[in-house]
Amino acid sequence: MEDEGDDMPETSQMSKSPKGGDGVGTAKTALKSSRKMSRMVKNEKGRAMRLQKAAAKRERQNARQKVRETLGEKAPPKEVPRTIENTREVDATMVEPEDEEVMHDEAHDEMAAYFNRETTPKVLITMSPYAKVMTWKFCYELRKCIPNSEIFSRKGVALKKVVKQATKKEYTDLIVVHEDRKKPNGIVLCHLPEGPTAYFKINSLKFSKEIKNVGESTSHFPEVILNNFNTRLGHTVARMFACLFPHDPKFTGRRVVTLHNQRDYVFFRHHRYEFKKDGSKAALLELGPRFTLRLKWLQKGTFDTRCGEYEWVLKRHEMETSRRRFFL
């Protein structure tokens, strides 16, 4: 039904309806006008309904609160809302806390050298050949965020050669920022001696300057928080991220890098924190870039998309069929 939003419903209605003449009973026109409401009337009605609903909800909550107070411990437990994370499909690869075989596997995988403190991270950051301003900006931000990292421009060298040269110069990790349409849109993260290669797509990227009330970063070694990487694949990816940062964070620097996984999206945040109120709360000051990553494939061995073996590939038609199925 078209809305005219006018003050004279009768005239508009008469101009529209082909049959309705003025002479036909007022009951009919009254009925038609009651059915046809103007937009303002609708808005008001909607607002009234919402206020009613909120009031009813508030009443129910208060009633429940009272019941909880009066009964104390015998009160029925708080209801937990159903979320997609709550109703996640059961994944056989979820890692149990004391799984001997998984621990043995991780103790002997490619990144074990870092966790055994045999190597210190040395990161090489590079980008697509002839990259544009935005990509360079992103690389500068990454260099500020990750200690002991260096940027080299790509100059058209093949990635396999880059990997070889980096291994020779004893780098432990390689980050290649992939560019498309003059903006960074992907990251190839390769752990170097013979380690796994992961390709992530960058979803939303905000530089430090675009963030409101951003702070200045320092050069203290940051603490690394890896949240919610529960499956076996998630464990591997989390270990790859951990390998980028030095072992011993400087707690006095109060700098923290968080990689939080939720529904297969990895959120990268960089903060300085300050504990308030005798340690129960912490105030956060955001530093550095803010971006989201999504894992596209994980390959065993260094970068070799043609002949390398993939440990995990996101196949959209097969894997993205359920809203409650996640892989990290």
Partner 1 sequence: MDCLVGSANGMLKSINLVENTFKNMSVVSSLVPKRDEITTLCWSDEEQTELLSAQLDRQLKLFDSLTGNYSTLFNAHGGEGPIKGVQVVEDGNIATAVQSGLVTIWGTEGTSKLQYEAGNDLLRMRVCPTRRNYFATGGKENPLKLWDINTPDTPTFTSKNVPPNWLQLRVPIWINDLRFLNNSENVVTCTGAHQIHVYDPRSGQRRPVQELLWQEEPLTAMSTCANDKHVVAGNTRGEMALFDLRNKARMVHKFKGFAGALRSIDAHPTAPYVASCGIDRFVRVHNINTKELVKKIYCKARMNCILMRRQLSLLTTVKEEKPDRRRKKKSAEEDEGDDSHRSDSDEDKDAIWEDMGVVAEKSAAAKKIKRKVKSPPVDDDEDDDDDVIIVEPKRNK
Q: Which residues bind partner 1 (CB under 8 A)?
A: 92-93, 99-102, 104-105, 108, 232, 300, 306-313, 315, 318-319
Closest approach, Cβ 91 to partner 1, in A, equals 9
Q: Strand ranges (DSSP E) for the chain? A: 123-127, 149-151, 173-180, 183-191, 197-206, 223-227, 255-262, 265-276, 281-300, 309-313
Residue closer to partner 1 by CB (options 1, 92) is 92
Closest approach, Cβ 318 to partner 1, in A, equals 5
Residues with Cβ within 8 Å of 195's Cβ and at least 6 positions away in sequence, in order, are: 110, 111, 240, 243, 302
Closest approach, Cβ 167 to partner 1, in A, equals 19
Residue closer to partner 1 by CB (options 102, 211) is 102
Distances in Å between the alpha carbon of 147 and those of 2, 177, 248?
62, 17, 12
Closest approach, Cβ 248 to partner 1, in A, equals 28
Residue closer to partner 1 by CB (options 69, 318) is 318
Residues with Cβ within 8 Å of 303's Cβ and at least 6 positions away in sequence, in order, are: 159, 160, 163, 174, 188, 190, 197
Range 287-318 burial, b when 16+ CB lie within 10 A, else e: bbbbbbbbbebbbbbbbeeeeeeebbebeeee
CA distance 45 to 244: 57
Q: Is the dihedral of CA 301, 304, 310, 314 positive or negative?
A: positive
Closest approach, Cβ 312 to partner 1, in A, equals 5
Residue closer to partner 1 by CB (options 232, 290) is 232
Residue closer to partner 1 by CB (options 215, 301) is 301
CB 273 within 8 A of CB 249: no
Residue 230 tokens, joined: 């529960």
Residue closer to partner 1 by CB (options 65, 305) is 305
Residue closer to partner 1 by CB (options 80, 92) is 92
Closest approach, Cβ 113 to partner 1, in A, equals 13
Closest approach, Cβ 85 to partner 1, in A, equals 21
